[in-house]
Structure 1
Amino acid sequence: MVIVGSTNPAKLNPARAVFAEVFGLEIVGVEVPSGVPDQPIGYAQTLLGAQNRARAALEQPGARYGVGLEGGVEFDPYGGWLFNVAYILREDGRSGFARGGSILLPPEVAARVRAGEELGPVIDEVAGLKDSKKTSGAVGFLTLHRLERREFWRHTLELALPTFLRPELYPQ
């Protein structure tokens, strides 16, 4: 069984699709702590949140894989960027992880996140939405729904699989 460290449908449904297709395994979501702020800033903090979620998920009864999914924001001279990280941990200790694509945040949104607000509620306010992080998310809103949050997560999960699909190339 695959345990995902989240019950958010926008994260859980892509994990269901990927793991059912690739491994034919049952997927269950559980709420676990990330151990990082609600809005992780920077790659290191976002990766740590995903790792913490995967470890906590793997500790659940019946887990063969633990999956942690964490969305983060980072800043550079061009602005604030939304990105995501998937971390997969198998019961034998093998792991795989990936950083997904990124999208430039509107300056007003980036400034509010930099000041300490969480991205989801800021996007909800700016877009006039409610709880968008459980549906299309910031990426859906910003791309006029050409790319939805679930696809953003699926892409990142697929990129975290090579250590399991080609283990001969990834000694651990």
Structure 2
Amino acid sequence: MQLVFATNNLNKLKEVQQLIPAHITLLTLKDIGCDVDIPETQNTIEGNAIQKANYVKTHFGYDCFADDTGLEVEALHGEPGVDSAHYAGAQRDAEDNMKKLLSELENKDNRKAQFKTVIALHFNGKLETFTGICKGEITENKSGMDGFGYDPIFKAEGYTKTFAEISLAEKNQIGHRGKAVKQLVEFLSKV
């Protein structure tokens, strides 16, 4: 089986590759000659995942999947949410995004948050979606060197370390993207 993962994010690709079984060949956008930054103009995480999967299916014809992920902070009414990647501006800088988020939460006691990933799959002429959620909280300071995005300031429920302080294998077990990919793999194992 061959599937395109519609992402240019090498960190996401690395996470997903660890979860995809060997009988599924994962192609990248580069592998299929797609060198554009696929638009993400929808106002929901699910909408963006579907938009990216539709783009690859429409323009290149491959069975594919795409994901979109957002960090939803309770005290900020779900922000940054769909705008997580460019929360602090169009430059899409993780350091700037974390700095802005920590600033927004500076005098707030409620630091509850959740990561949400939606995967949209185009397969055999049908569109399916899979959602993974990881509940946790935003820490007061950055901690850890691994991971990417908001990982240094997100601690999953029941954990004392941030996503940036745990192994990729552990993050894939408890994290939002790992949960969504497991649903994807389970679905593909039945077709």
Partners of 1:137 and 1:25 lie apart in 2 by 31
Deviations 1:23-61 (A, max 9, x none): 422321353122247xxxxxxx11222222222232342
TM-score of the pair, normalised by structure 2: 0.55
In structure 2, relative to structure 1, the CA distance for the partners of 1:143 and 1:60 (3 Å cut) is same
Within a 5 Å distance, the mapping from 1:13-162 to structure 2 comes to 13-19=14-20, 21=21, 23-29=23-29, 31-36=37-42, 45-65=44-64, 67-76=65-74, 78-85=110-117, 86-106=119-139, 132-133=148-149, 139=154, 142-148=162-168, 151=172, 152=175, 153-162=177-186
TM-score of the pair, normalised by structure 1: 0.59
Partners of 1:128 and 1:95 lie apart in 2 by 35
| Number of residues of Structure 1 aligned to a counterpart in Structure 2 | 140
Structure 1 position 127, deviation (Å): 6.1
Structure 1 position 4, deviation (Å): 2.0
In structure 2, relative to structure 1, the CA distance for the partners of 1:49 and 1:89 (3 Å cut) is same
Question: Which one-letter code corresponds to 2:180 in the other structure?
Answer: T
Asked whether the equivalents of residues 46 and 68 of structure 2 are also in contact (C-alpha less than 8 Å), the reply is yes
Partners of 2:51 and 2:135 lie apart in 1 by 22
- Which consecutive residues of structure 1, in runs of 5 or more, have no partner in the other structure? 38-44, 110-125, 168-172
- Which consecutive residues of structure 2, in runs of 5 or more, have no partner in the other structure? 76-109, 156-160
Fraction of identical pairs, as percent:
9
Q: Which has the larger radius of gyration?
A: 2
Structure 1 position 94, deviation (Å): 4.2
